[in-house]
Amino acid sequence: MRGIIPSLLLGLSCLSSVVLAATPGQKPDDIRKSGFVYCLNGQVNTFNPQMASGGLTVDTLAAQLYDRLLDVDPYTYRLVPELAQSWEVLDNGATYRFHLRPNVQFQTTPWFKPTRALNADDVVFSFQRIFDRKHPWHNINGGNYPYFDSLQFPDSVKSVRKLDNNTVEFKLEKPDASFLWHMATHYASVMSAEYAGQLEKIDRQELMDRQPVGTGPFQLSEYRAGQYIRLARHQKFWRGVPLMPQVVLDLGSGGTGRLSKLLTGECDVLAYPAASQLTILRDDPRLRLNLRPGMNIAYLAFNTNKAPLNNPQVRHALALAINNQRLMQSIYYGTAETAASILPRASWAYDSDAKITEYNPKKARERLKALGIENLELRLWVPTGSQAWNPSPLKTAELIQADMAQIGVKVTIVPVEGRFQEARLMDMTHDLTLAGWATDSNDPDSFFRPLLSCAAIRSQTNYARWCNPEFDTVLQKALATQQLASRIEAYNEAQAILAKDLPVLPLASSLRLQAYRYDIKGLVLSPFGNASFAGVSRDDVEVKKP
């Protein structure tokens, strides 16, 4: 789950018309001679993942445009070095010191030519902008950083300072055992302080998030809203020059249209294919299919600020009406597990005693009647595009609508485009929201605080608008220790609170799917989000070295 707040949308109103270093008239055949076409659903509201709450910017673009201090190995689920080649944990987890990799170069673009390599100034700028509300850049393009705001990092980070050109130290108000994992998410991308200084001189600070500059393997070349994004390889990428000169992200087709493009060769990679398309994909000898467990969850959020959904008994009654097994068969086709917790089963803190809500419409009707609930009408907000956690949200909504009708509850489906959480939920008129979350962190805190903490209401990532001080206290207890057993115990307590209060109904944790043409090599499918395209190549094309 991962969008942008309305104030920033105003600042990016002209983003749809930005065309950068365009290559007029280039045909798909030409693209395939020098790169590959990656087809997916999505839209860009900012090129800065720090200011997004998910979607295309975080899930796909961030790994191409930027780097982070740390990364997560997609196979071992362990923290590994990225821009920081080593780090130290001090003061029982209240101080973190990062030693930066030398000679990492920023991208040279038509709008910025760096004069130096990455250093501590860039890291300090990137995070002071997020964490320091008085920083001159904090409020540029809206001043909202949904992921870090939901974690209350502006209140919990005491200081970010440069010790020398290659060393940065973060001091926290108190120990936080999850801190390193949050630094490994794509939300924690590192920007150029030199580029920021250049924009300040011409008083065009808003361009920082529209015309990106990072240290990642690819840089922005061209963008046409709703059509495509063209990325060109970063010639001075610190890991070595990417194999493909360019990548085109095709945004222009719906689910069936993207499948057709893959079959005809107009697309080389299809991100998030619908589970119903698996048979076609498996049977075509020209295609390959990757499946991996995903760190994601699909869920139904109840607006707990509205009657009668503010009553946990009503929420439990409605949950009994949903036929989760039918969702598994009709939406996921065997590519997901029924969820019993907001944590996926792959998480080390998953409560193995968690119980899946039973399907019992008769009991649901009886409970609603006992509560005096009759002729209930609810509005269900639903994203229109396929997601990593749900390949067919609208179809899911229709099945839930039919289930609710069986117990006498009328549900009106409100389809909304990708920005629906930020732009539409702020008016608080929704009753139910079909949502989900995918994280590039293996720490449970990356699920609990962004989705369900009190602070996450203000950051617009808590769609249930549920605030439970007892729950927040338990989460803080889990962060105060480095001992895994103690953290697991606290997170089991947190899951028990959620099961009792039920602000959200977990539905499914799905496999990550990716289909691609047989000649494409080097794609990495990560459970945490899209990996870098730097190692992708094509069998039948001799890629020219720069």
Q: Are 530 and 388 in contact (CB under 8 A)?
A: no
What's the average model confidence in pLDDT over 200-206?
97
What's the average model confidence in pLDDT over 151-165?
94
Q: Are 335 and 277 in contact (CB under 8 A)?
A: no
CATH superfamily of 296-511: Dipeptide-binding Protein; Domain 3 (3.10.105.10)
Q: What is the pLDDT of residue 300?
A: 97
Question: Is the pLDDT score of 368 beyond 80?
Answer: yes
Q: What is the pLDDT of residue 421?
A: 47
Q: Are 534 and 519 in contact (CB under 8 A)?
A: no
Q: What is the pLDDT of residue 360?
A: 97
Q: Are 470 and 483 in contact (CB under 8 A)?
A: no
Mapped onto helix, strand or coil, the DSSP state of residue 169 is strand
d(C-alpha 509, C-alpha 385), whole Å: 18
Query: Token digits for 72?
Result: 């997560």
d(C-alpha 186, C-alpha 103), whole Å: 22
d(C-alpha 137, C-alpha 205), whole Å: 8
Q: What is the pLDDT of residue 218?
A: 98
In tens, the pLDDT along 24-36 reads 445 445 677 789 9
What's the average model confidence in pLDDT over 107-116?
98
Confidence grade of residue 133 (pLDDT, cut at 50, 70, 90): very high
Supply the mean pLDDT for the chain: 89
Q: What is the pLDDT of residue 11?
A: 37
Which single residue is written with the structure tokens 């390889």?
233
DSSP string, 459-477: TT--TT----HHHHHHHHH
d(C-alpha 165, C-alpha 38), whole Å: 38
Strongest mean pLDDT among 30-39, 353-362, 387-396, 421-430: 353-362
Mapped onto helix, strand or coil, the DSSP state of residue 401 is helix
Q: Are 478 and 445 in contact (CB under 8 A)?
A: yes
Q: What is the pLDDT of residue 23?
A: 44
In tens, the pLDDT along 297-339 reads 999 999 999 999 999 999 999 999 999 999 999 999 888 989 9
User: Which residues have C-beta within 8 Å of that of residue 304, sequence separation ≥ 6?
Assistant: 310, 315, 464, 465, 466, 503
d(C-alpha 251, C-alpha 418), whole Å: 13
Question: Is the pLDDT score of 542 beyond 50?
Answer: no
Q: Are strands 79-81 and 84-90 parallel, antiparallel or unpaired?
A: unpaired
Question: Is the pLDDT score of 510 beyond 60?
Answer: yes
Domain ranges of the chain: 296-511
d(C-alpha 380, C-alpha 394), whole Å: 10
DSSP string, 489-545: HHHHHHHHHHHHH-SEEEEEEEEEEEEEETTEE---EETTEEPPSTT-EETTS-PPP
Q: What is the pLDDT of residue 25?
A: 44
Q: Ramachandran region of residue 21, left (φ > 0), alpha (ψ -120 to 50) or beta?
A: left
Question: Is the pLDDT score of 490 beyond 60?
Answer: yes
Q: Are 270 and 514 in contact (CB under 8 A)?
A: yes
Q: What is the pLDDT of residue 309?
A: 97
In tens, the pLDDT along 410-429 reads 999 999 875 544 455 555 67
Q: What is the pLDDT of residue 254?
A: 63
Query: Token digits for 228?
Result: 């495509």
What's the average model confidence in pLDDT over 9-28?
43
Q: Which residues of 505-542 are buried (b: 16+ CB within 10 A; e: fewer)?
A: bbbbbbbbbbbbbebbeebbbbbbbbbbbbbbbbeeee
User: Which residues have C-beta within 8 Å of that of residue 223, sequence separation ≥ 6?
Assistant: 15, 18, 19, 20, 44, 229, 230
Cα 203 to chain centroid, rounded: 31
For residue 77, how many C-alpha atoms fall within 13 Å in the half-sphere facing its CB?
A: 14
Which single residue is written with the structure tokens 């009991």?
363
* Higher-confidence position of 385 and 191: 191
Q: What is the pLDDT of residue 2?
A: 42
d(C-alpha 168, C-alpha 125), whole Å: 11
d(C-alpha 235, C-alpha 219), whole Å: 10
For residue 412, how many C-alpha atoms fall within 13 Å in the half-sphere facing its CB?
A: 8
Mapped onto helix, strand or coil, the DSSP state of residue 167 is strand
Q: Are 394 and 255 in contact (CB under 8 A)?
A: no
Q: Which residues of 141-150 are buried (b: 16+ CB within 10 A; e: fewer)?
A: bbbbbbbbbb
Widest Cα–Cα separation across the chain? 73
d(C-alpha 394, C-alpha 435), whole Å: 11
Q: What is the pTM of this model?
A: 0.82
Taken as a whole, the chain contains a residue count of 546
Helix (H) / strand (E) element for 381: namely: strand 377-383
Q: Are 462 and 421 in contact (CB under 8 A)?
A: no
User: Which residues have C-beta within 8 Å of that of residue 307, sequence separation ≥ 6?
Assistant: none
What's the average model confidence in pLDDT over 425-449?
84
d(C-alpha 521, C-alpha 518), whole Å: 8
Strand partners, 432: 302, 380
Strongest mean pLDDT among 133-137, 331-335, 382-386, 456-460: 133-137
> What is the 3-state composition of the chain as percent helix, strand, coil, each rounded to the nearest 5?
35, 20, 45
Q: What is the pLDDT of residue 420?
A: 46
For residue 481, how many C-alpha atoms fall within 13 Å in the half-sphere facing its CB?
A: 13
